[in-house]
Amino acid sequence: ETGVTQTPRHLVMGMTNKKSLKCEQHLGHNAMYWYKQSAKKPLELMFVYSLEERVENNSVPSRFSPECPNSSHLFLHLHTLQPEDSALYLCASSQNRGSNEKLFFGSGTQLSVL
């Protein structure tokens, strides 16, 4: 058990659907992240929430919108997605932003957009 739980594990949605991914961390960390992992590509940072800042990757389309109600919960709201958005979406958390910051990942949501 990683201490970071994500739901759902698998999601199939049509391009007109609206869905949300949920992440919860039980580690007392103060930073949470959404990453996208596509086949044959490196992990791509989408969003970060920490005590000091929210960081967005400017290349992420507006059809992805994050929500972080508190330091333990993170959501990724999805609407009008495209087939190329099919990927593994990983939530992660870390403690602080020091040089030896270590990421703890959830098990991911495998998303398929039809």
Partner 1 sequence: RKEVEQDPGPFNVPEGATVAFNCTYSNSASQSFFWYRQDCRKEPKLLMSVYSSGNEDGRFTAQLNRASQYISLLIRDSKLSDSATYLCVVRTGGGADGLTFGKGTHLIIQP
Neighbours of 103 (CB within 10 A): 14
Residue with tokens 């959404």: 34
Q: Which residues in 54-113 contact partner 1 (CB under 8 A)?
A: 55, 57, 90, 97, 99-108, 110
39: exposed, middle or buried (C-beta count within 10 Å: 0-12, 13-18, 19+)?
exposed
- Residue 53 contacts partner 1 per CB under 8 A: yes
Pairing type for strands 10-13 and 109-113 reads parallel
What is the pattern of x (binds partner 1, CB under 8 A) and - over residues 3-42?
----------------------------x-x------xxx
Neighbours of 99 (CB within 10 A): 5
Among 13, 43, 60, 68, binds partner 1 (CB under 8 A): 43
Give the shortest CB-105-to-partner 1 separation in angstroms. 4
Using CB under 8 A as the criterion, which residues of the chain lie in contact with partner 1 when the complex forms? 2, 31, 33, 40-43, 45, 48, 50, 53, 55, 57, 90, 97, 99-108, 110
